[in-house]
């Protein structure tokens, strides 16, 4: 079985990444980036989402560092939108959803009008995407990046990071006077990613320490649940296995175990390990074993477990399938996780024979995406039914290119705190210059 770094595979990854970046241009809207529908057109009727705009801004900041033409103006458009359209000038912070704005309003740097039925308008998940985008733009040296990053850090530290428990709060009302009586692993998952990019952008190790505190909690919870990471907790951080019972297809807070998030946790553990090493801090004992156990558990629970290729979306606390729909983003998280695991195994001295089964998974999962998901124009089918036929039950269309670009870049980089800084340091396709990963690339 070929390794991750054959010349043609790397070329294939790069070609598809450029196609996806070009496809993502369609998401451009006044005031941000929108959701791309299945027909390839952007939906300009739905509210503008902070999540989608921040994620696109992050991707095009990465594109700037990669040197992909067109990324500069799209990254800067995202930064202007995040600085003005979503900003709550009365109470501070940023709205998760705002009404669409006109081109004239965009030119005037007008603030958007918040919308949505949920009273908790200030979301930690959205803040993490915003923090990640601002940090990546700072690494890319975009003019608005650093000022935005400073503002986001202030709000993150004031309201969302809870130093007493070492995790983030989930969401607040508009004026931050009321916090939702719920805590979620999803928000903390995205916080870890954002904290690591912020550590690279600011060279401040406090963000690595915070990410590591979240990881330690996750590992402890996963160990108690047979290496499945629980999603939902009550206001006192007690695990709530009945939360949203009967709704395993909820796109944000599904009942049960979220397979894609568990793969992402496995990778995050390796990334936090890399960050601790780069900031000359000790890596707690058991990180590698925990990440590998979480990964192996998700493969056993979700990959081809109904006889057909693909991953389940959710399983129950014993690993039985709840939601059999296949989502492209789940497969991209699995690919990023197996690449991170392969690098970490090499770093730990594993033989090629020990790593080879994971490389087999890696190539099988790319074959799966090529068979059912990846289209010639850069469009990736976002959702498939259990027979791997395109479907729009949960997430219509292809919301954005965040997961696909990350999956196409990840195998070309070693395990480092963040992709933007790794690219800026010249590690793309040159991981032998990174001390921890020579074994698998030479």
Active site residue 403: yes
Kindly report the CA angle at 303 between 253 and 245, in degrees rounded to 5?
25
Active site residue 261: yes
- Buried (b) or exposed (e) across 292-317, using 16+ Cβ within 10 A? bbbbebbbebbbebeeebbbbbbbee
Tell me the two tokens of residue 145.
């990046």
Contact in structure between 282 and 293 (CB atoms under 8 Å): no
Phi, psi at 315, each rounded to 5° = -130, 165
Closest of 244, 262, 263 to residue 253, by C-alpha: 244
Q: Which member of 16, 190, 232, 403 is catalytic? A: 403
Parallel, antiparallel, or unpaired for β 28-29 and 167-168? unpaired
Contact in structure between 211 and 196 (CB atoms under 8 Å): yes
DSSP 162-211: ETTTTEE--EE-TTS--B-SEEEHHHHHHHHHHHHHHHHHHT-THHHHHH
Residues 6+ apart with CB under 8 A from 442: 432
From the CB of residue 75, how many other CB atoms can be counted at a distance below 10 Å?
A: 27
Alpha-carbon span 119 to 175, nearest angstrom: 11
Tell me the two tokens of residue 306.
């109904």
Q: Which member of 16, 183, 190, 261 is catalytic? A: 261
Alpha-carbon span 384 to 363, nearest angstrom: 20
Closest of 237, 234, 245 to residue 316, by C-alpha: 245
Catalytic residues: 261, 403
């Amino acid at each position: 079985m070929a390794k991750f770094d054959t010349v043609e595979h790397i070329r294939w990854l790069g070609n598809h990444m450029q196609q996806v970046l070009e496809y993502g241009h369609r998401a451009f809207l006044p005031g941000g980036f929108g959701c791309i529908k299945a027909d390839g057109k952007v939906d300009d009727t739905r509210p503008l989402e902070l999540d989608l705009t921040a994620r696109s801004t992050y991707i095009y900041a990465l594109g700037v560092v990669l040197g992909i033409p067109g990324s500069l103006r799209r990254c800067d458009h995202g930064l202007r939108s995040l600085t003005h359209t979503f900003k709550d000038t009365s109470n501070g912070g940023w709205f998760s959803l705002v009404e669409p704005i006109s081109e004239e309003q965009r030119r005037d740097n007008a603030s958007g009008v918040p919308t949505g039925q949920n009273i908790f308008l200030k979301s930690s998940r959205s803040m993490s995407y915003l923090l990640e985008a601002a940090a990546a733009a700072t690494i890319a040296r975009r003019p608005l990046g650093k000022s935005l990053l400073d503002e986001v850090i202030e709000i993150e530290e004031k309201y969302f990071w809870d130093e007493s428990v070492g995790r983030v709060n989930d969401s607040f009302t508009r004026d931050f006077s009321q916090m939702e009586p719920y805590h979620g692993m999803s928000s903390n998952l995205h916080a870890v990613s954002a904290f690591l990019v912020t550590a690279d952008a600011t060279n401040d190790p406090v963000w690595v320490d915070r990410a590591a505190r979240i990881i330690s909690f996750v590992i402890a919870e996963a160990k108690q649940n047979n290496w499945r990471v629980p999603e939902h907790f009550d206001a006192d951080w007690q695990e709530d296995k009945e939360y949203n019972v009967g709704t395993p297809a909820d796109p944000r807070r599904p009942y049960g175990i979220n397979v894609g998030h568990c793969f992402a946790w496995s990778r995050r553990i390796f990334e936090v390990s890399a960050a601790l090493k780069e900031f000359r801090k000790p890596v707690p004992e058991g990180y590698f074993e925990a990440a590998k156990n979480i990964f192996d558990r998700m493969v056993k629970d979700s990959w081809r477990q109904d006889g057909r290729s693909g991953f389940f979306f959710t399983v129950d606390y014993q690993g039985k399938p709840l939601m059999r729909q296949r989502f492209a983003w789940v497969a991209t998280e699995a690919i990023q996780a197996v690449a991170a695991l392969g690098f970490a195994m090499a770093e730990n001295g594993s033989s090629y024979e020990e790593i080879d089964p994971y490389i087999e998974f890696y190539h099988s999962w790319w074959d799966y995406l090529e068979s059912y998901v990846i289209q010639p124009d850069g469009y990736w089918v976002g959702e498939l039914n259990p027979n791997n036929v395109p479907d729009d039950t949960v997430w219509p269309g292809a919301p954005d290119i965040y997961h696909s670009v990350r999956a196409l870049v990840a195998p070309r980089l070693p395990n480092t705190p963040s992709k933007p800084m790794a690219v800026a340091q010249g590690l793309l396709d040159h991981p032998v210059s990174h001390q921890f990963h020579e074994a698998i690339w030479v």
